[in-house]
Amino acid sequence: MKILGIDPGLRICGYGLVETNNKISLIEAGVVKTDKKDKTEKRLEAIYQSMSELIKRIKPDAIALEKLYSHYRHPTTSYALGQARGVICLICSQLNIALYEYSSTHIKKAVVGRGRATKEQIQRMVSQMLGIKNNPKYFDITDALAAAITHAHTLKRQR
């Protein structure tokens, strides 16, 4: 099964595709960036176009996202994140791809073993689990891969 994890953001959307057989293997990972000088609608269109093309090309069986968490001190960040997430949800509906959402604490616990892990700890563990020699440049990539790994672990437990 191919699982695409996505860490949506208005500036950077991280993605990571893994395949599960007897073990979890990395297939592809990267980021989709938008220009912060562009208007929001242009940035959302860029995310839609890039992610649609990516998903059509790699044909995942499922997509895993982190549930939206809103911190009262940063409402604007949550708003932008919600818009990018909405674009991903729309693509899943249009392409009829199963979408699974996990809380950030669930993802951290599944990957690191504790729900309050740091981004650096997640990055190290994801890199170790997937045999990535050099840590990816963006935390968005390892966050996306962590979501995909979490879904793979969830499927394994359900069997």
Q: Could you list the active site residues?
A: 7, 66, 140
Structure tokens at 20: 């599960």
Phi, psi of 81 (to 5 degrees): -60, -40
Q: Which of 14, 20, 25 is nearest to 152 (CA)?
A: 20
Specify whether the CB–CB gap between 109 and 115 falls below 8 A.
yes
Specify whether the CB–CB gap between 81 and 117 falls below 8 A.
no
CA atoms of 120 and 69, how far apart (whole Å): 19
